[in-house]
Structure 1
Amino acid sequence: MPLFAEWTRDYVKGFHLDRRNRVTQIDPVLPEIVFDNPMDLEFGPDGALYVLEYGDGYFSENPDAQLARIDYVRGNRTPIPRVSANPGNGRAPLTVSFSSAGTADPDGDALRYAWDFDADGHVDSTEPDPSYTYTADGDYRPVLKVTDSTGRSASAEVILPVGPLAPQVTFVSPVTGQPFEFGQTVSYAVTVADDTPVNCANVTVTYILGHDQHGHPLSTSSGCTGTIATFVDAGHAGAGNLTAVFVASYTDSGTPRRTGTATVVLTPTG
């Protein structure tokens, strides 16, 4: 049965076909799961369904973007890991307390814990809630793997930036809700707060034509202040549910370098 993923409606459907490949019925697939802007899906050689999800946002590092694996399980089920870190960022040396709170096994099996704090492939701790000190700056992805008594296992990770904090980017203007019509030239002003000197020449502001829950980047300007002419490209002339999306981005000069972003969405009044 062919599967169809719909980006804007966040679902997957199954198409029933007759002998002539005509659609006879359409059924929801896993309606209890929210597929967050699915981009692609495919069955792997292991029999699992893999779904690539864009997440919410416009050309930014969406925290809810993911490659999801969906298994069909008979009998004993896979444990469900949860992981958190406190603090979630800071400068080295940084001591982090990790938690597996919320980790569970659907069958009530006893669980074994294996933490890899520095992605070297070695188990650093077998405690449910350990701590670890990072002595060097870097972008880390500590991983918790949990295994039940039948050998079924699953992993979860947390993104942990150690070093300078990401810049805080803010739009002074435009602001959400201000009057706007396509064709208008919009003035913008952006502020950046960072723990390294800020160079406004490295600030970019991108104009994106928002359409439903996705967007199409059309032009980019540089600097903390400037103007951007808004327009609707030929491919979207006459389309509904259009917005003007402005995304400001700044990458600092720290080690490792950090990027901060801010987004404003304007809805046309006409």
Structure 2
Amino acid sequence: MTIEPYQWAVRCPETEAKLAIRGLSKTFGTGAEAVHALVPLDLMVADGDFLCVVGPSGCGKTTLLNLVAGFETPSTGTVRLDGKDISGPGAERGVVFQQGALFNWMNVLENVAFGPRACGESKALAHRKALATLDMVGLKDFALKYPYQLSGGMQQRVGIARALTNDPQVLLMDEPFAALDQQTRETLLAEIRQLWQRTGKTILWITHSIEEALFLATHIVVMSPRPGRVRAAFRSRFNESKDPLITVAPDFVEAKRQIIHLLGQDANKEEV
């Protein structure tokens, strides 16, 4: 098992892509004050893919996610979901942030039911959906607790449940476990992988962690320093492994070394 260099158009041409990103760039500001966060890039994501984007701080990873989420508008290029242009936020894209971003004045059930309620569903139906999703993430018994009564890991589970309750076509996850301790993170990563395997959701996952990307992803994009561009792309199969020690297996360590080397090359260019 290893990672293999990948060309997006070979397996997933734009006409077959769940998520099609073409010529996408983003610049903040104008003139001498302009910051080029992303230069034009192309990505094609098939239905059911788990795409992890890794790269140094400031390389445009979160900007990319925000463009797909519809929180930002492209400077050039397009983002399409099932062939339709994304022009703003939508229930078909669920977003999980670095922090839980929960409403502290609502209990867990109300937080998770918020999306369906905002879409006009009845309280009873929204609560039924929320309870089913909380059961999926192992938090049904905590439905009446408030966010401040939960651990950081449990709060992130609530955030994931809230994103899932609208049954989105794509999950967008911006370093959701970055603030957690290592043991909690490892537990939740295993749960996320199982959740993806059960639901078949298309996932775009932003991370600084190469190990996290290798453990979760079907595909990995390595970004260059700002202005962000695709430095390399890989097909990964480590997420198919049932080995609990896969992260210390020789081929996993070698794959991690390859990506570290790529990121190191970019760092050395910046120093020259």
Verify same fold: TM over 0.5: no
Q: Larger Cα Rg: Structure 1 or Structure 2?
A: 1
TM-score by length of 1: 0.28
User: Which has a greater percent of helix?
Assistant: 2
Q: Which has the higher contact order (CA 8 A, sep 6+)?
A: 2
